[in-house]
Amino acid sequence: MVDRSQLMRGTLEGCIVKIISQEETYGYEIVSRLQQYGFDDVKEGTTYPILVRLERKKLISSVYKESPLGPKRKYYFLTKSGKDFLREFELVWNDVKQSVDRIIRGA
């Protein structure tokens, strides 16, 4: 059986960086966005360690901001290295996607 989580592991990092590149956002919203795009089984338990890793690699940075609903939220935004990473990820992903597609179609 195909291990979906294993397959997702590498791509999720790039997807999160892409979502953060669109606008400053916080953990819960990132998960909601991923679920809207079809990553139904993604939880904050999946994304938080990735966000920690991205922050350590200095691809993203964060700031606490007041929330209109209650507690302060940690907002993530992309750094210069993050923008470079995203460009590279998009190129690599397109290559991988095309290769896999060609194999699956048997072309």
CA-to-CA dists, residue 80 to 19, 50, 88, angstroms: 15, 18, 13
Q: With binding defined as CB under 8 A, does residue 37 bind other proteins?
A: no
Sign of the torsion angle spanned by Cα atoms 72, 73, 78, 82: positive
Q: With binding defined as CB under 8 A, does residue 48 bind other proteins?
A: yes
Q: With binding defined as CB under 8 A, does residue 43 bind other proteins?
A: yes
Which residue, 64 or 98, is less far from other proteins as judged by CB? Answer: 64
Which residue, 44 or 95, is less far from other proteins as judged by CB? Answer: 44
Q: With binding defined as CB under 8 A, does residue 69 bind other proteins?
A: yes
Task: By CB under 8 A, name the one of 23, 44, 88, 95 that touches other proteins.
Answer: 44
Q: With binding defined as CB under 8 A, does residue 33 bind other proteins?
A: no
Give me the DSSP letters along 39-78: -TT--HHHHHHHHHHHHHTTSEEEEEE--SSSS-EEEEEE
Q: With binding defined as CB under 8 A, does residue 45 bind other proteins?
A: yes
**CA–CA separation, 30 vs 28, rounded Å?**
5
Residues in contact with other proteins by CB under 8 A are 26-28, 43-46, 48-50, 52-53, 56, 69-74
